Amino acid sequence: MSLVFAAIVPHGFPIISDLSEDAEGGMATRNAMLEFGRRIAAAKPDVVVIATPHGMRAEGMVALAAVARGAGKLEWEGRSFEMNIPVDLDFTDEIAAKAKERDVPIALIGYAGNRRSQSAAPLDWGIITPSYFIGHTRNLVGQGSVLAAAPAEDIAPPIVIINPSRQLPYEANVEFGRAIADAAKASDM
């Protein structure tokens, strides 16, 4: 696997059209995110790695969601949007292994279920917003089990959920980025 696309994107959730008609005045941002979605779709990634400053944290460690799915709900001005998306556990494990080789402290974070295949990480706006624009736009959480497979229409690639540590030195987070690149080079995807 090689890196086919990289971006830094905003994650204010009123830009999601399901939550606000006018993006709360942020139509330029919404339009830029729609272009981001078109470009990432054209790149056809096998997996999307999303690092968020929000979500699950492990003190002094980079946290990786070691779960089968991510699920969450956003609410804004009386509207809501729910998401349930697959997490690429194999690539999460590859990144974790490469980070350990580089002596980056990591934590594989689970949530709820005893088995990774039965767990779903709670998602917030830091993951839901970019995931929406890469194509995970279906309201899935309310449709049965939180671990149910996504319908065929949800064709966006699975994700890896990462929460870098603000407590680690800058260099450790840079090394973690290198670990992601190492994992991509080593992957047979």
Task: Kindly report, residue by residue over 92-102, the tens digit of the pLDDT.
Answer: 999 999 999 99
Report in angstroms the alpha-carbon separations of 84 from 3, 53, 55, 151.
Answer: 25, 20, 15, 10
Tell me the residue ranges of DSSP E strands in 44-144: 48-51, 62-65, 69-76, 79-86, 106-109, 120-122
Residues, the chain:
189
Q: Which residues pair with 122 in a beta bridge?
A: 71
- The per-residue b/e assignment along 23-47, b for 16 or more CB within 10 angstroms, e otherwise, is bbebeebbeebeebbeebbeeebeb
pLDDT in tens, 116-141: 888 889 998 999 999 999 988 754 44
Between 89-101 and 170-186, two packed helices, what is the crossing angle to 10 degrees?
130
Return d(Cα 10, Cα 80) in angstroms, integer: 19
Residue ranges in the chain whose pLDDT is less than 50: 139-152
What local confidence, expressed as pLDDT, does residue 94 receive? 97
Determine contact, residues 155/135, Cβ cutoff 8 Å.
yes
Determine contact, residues 48/69, Cβ cutoff 8 Å.
no
In order of their start, the domains of the chain are 13-186 (3.40.830.10)
Determine contact, residues 82/72, Cβ cutoff 8 Å.
yes
Tally of CB atoms within 10 A around 77: 10
- CA-based nearest residue to 13, from 167, 132, 136: 132
Return d(Cα 143, Cα 98) in angstroms, integer: 36
What local confidence, expressed as pLDDT, does residue 144 receive? 39
